[in-house]
């Protein structure tokens, strides 16, 4: 089943393969450069009865040095069936592209990371036919990013650190450093990375902490109308306006154009919050703007 963590992993490594820096360091290779990668199809099924699909498949093609294929998988729990699929992924990709294959598995907790490192063997009696040994990006191998300057230099690695260490005792410190480091970018870039991390944290307790940090560090100068603050508040206002109209629609109330336009144009969060509360109980959409509709 595809989870939010799988989606975040795919987004991260497909668009920002520089997040694979810990892997390349461990292999003694120069830091990865985005231009050295191209995405490959993730479908590794030759015969259709059973569909097999890796999270992300990349071709590493540096100007100098060995070319190889990377298959990146996110794994949130131990799963013997998935381990067997990994062996298939490696064999299939090796045969299809005639290149070495590196399987990278991303894990959020230490026990799953330890298990995912394998080795997973195909053995008959004393004879081993195949061995699958993934490289695991987990709490043991991904650095704990707690320095804001590192976040500014390597946002992809910082996002990976926040996700991978979401269950560690230093999670709060990592999330805070990453959040503060991300606001050094342009508003749209900051928003993008905030969302990547939030999706990657999925249903962990760290996700709520992250959402709070997103609000707390939205600007270093609250109330001064900076561009980032304006963009953030505009986004919140648009979301609240959509919620109000959705509630009225679900309740079956007719929404005149003037009501819809006034709600959509409002940027005052206090007014929108009050209107949302009224939307739950009013009998006509026009009552939305009346402080005491029953009076």
The pTM of the full predicted model, rounded to 2 decimals, is 0.69
Region of 277 please: left (phi>0), alpha (psi -120 to 50) or beta: alpha
- Which pLDDT belongs to residue 105? 95
- Which pLDDT belongs to residue 5? 64
- Which pLDDT belongs to residue 4? 61
Residue 181 parent element (H or E): helix 171-182
- Which pLDDT belongs to residue 205? 87
Residue 153 lies in a domain: yes
Which residues of the chain fall below pLDDT 50?
47-51, 295
Domain limits at 110?
4-137
- Residue 293 and residue 89: Cα distance in Å, rounded? 63
- In this structure, the answer to whether residues 166 and 131 fall within a common structural domain is no
Sign of CA dihedral 30, 146, 162, 240: negative
- In this structure, the answer to whether residues 40 and 84 fall within a common structural domain is yes
- Which pLDDT belongs to residue 278? 92
CA 268 to chain centre: 30
- Which pLDDT belongs to residue 22? 93
- In this structure, the answer to whether residues 92 and 181 fall within a common structural domain is no
Residue 161 lies in a domain: yes
Residue 221 lies in a domain: no
- In this structure, the answer to whether residues 234 and 179 fall within a common structural domain is no
Residue 294 lies in a domain: no
Final residue of a structural domain among 88, 114, 137 = 137
Task: Provide CB contacts within 8 A for 283, sequence distance 6+.
Answer: 253, 293
- In this structure, the answer to whether residues 115 and 36 fall within a common structural domain is yes
Instruction: Report the relative pairing of strands 101-106 and 68-74 from DSSP bridges.
Output: parallel
Final residue of a structural domain among 137, 164, 193 = 137
- Which pLDDT belongs to residue 174? 96
Work out the angle at residue 253's Cα, subtended by the Cα atoms of residues 248 and 255, and round it to the nearest 5 degrees. 80
Residue 295 lies in a domain: no
* DSSP conformational letter for 202: T
Residue 71 lies in a domain: yes
Domain count, the chain: 3
- In this structure, the answer to whether residues 28 and 124 fall within a common structural domain is yes
* HSE value, Cβ hemisphere, 13 Å, CA-based, for 142: 33
- In this structure, the answer to whether residues 129 and 152 fall within a common structural domain is no
- Which pLDDT belongs to residue 153? 92
Final residue of a structural domain among 216, 248, 272 = 216
- In this structure, the answer to whether residues 277 and 160 fall within a common structural domain is no
């Amino acid at each position: 089943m595809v989870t939010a963590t799988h989606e975040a992993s795919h987004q991260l490594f497909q668009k920002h393969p520089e997040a694979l820096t810990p892997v390349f360091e461990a292999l003694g290779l120069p830091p990865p450069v985005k231009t050295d990668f191209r995405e490959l199809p993730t479908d590794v099924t030759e015969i259709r009865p059973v569909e097999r699909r890796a999270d992300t498949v990349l071709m590493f093609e540096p100007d100098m040095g060995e070319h190889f294929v990377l298959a990146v998988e996110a794994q949130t729990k131990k799963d013997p069936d998935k381990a067997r699929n990994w062996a298939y992924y490696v064999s299939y990709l090796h045969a299809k592209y005639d290149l070495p294959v590196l399987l990278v598995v991303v894990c959020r907790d230490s026990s799953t990371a330890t298990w995912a490192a394998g080795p997973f063997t195909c053995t008959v009696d004393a004879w081993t036919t195949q061995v699958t040994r993934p490289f695991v990006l987990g709490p043991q191998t991904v650095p704990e990013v707690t320095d804001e300057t590192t976040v500014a230099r390597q946002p992809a690695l910082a996002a990976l650190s926040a996700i991978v260490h979401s269950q560690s005792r230093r999670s709060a410190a990592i999330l805070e450093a990453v959040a503060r480091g991300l606001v050094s970018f342009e508003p749209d870039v900051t928003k993008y990375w905030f969302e990547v991390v939030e999706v990657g944290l999925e249903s962990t307790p760290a996700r709520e902490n992250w959402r709070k940090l997103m609000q707390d560090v939205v600007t270093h100068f609250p109330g001064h109308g900076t561009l980032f603050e304006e963009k953030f508040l505009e986004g919140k206002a648009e979301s609240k306006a959509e919620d109000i109209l959705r509630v009225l629609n679900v309740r079956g109330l007719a929404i005149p154009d003037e009501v819809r336009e006034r709600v959509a144009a409002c940027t005052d969060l206090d007014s929108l919050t009050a209107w949302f509360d009224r939307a739950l109980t009013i009998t006509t959409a026009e009552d939305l703007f009346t402080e005491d509709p029953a009076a």
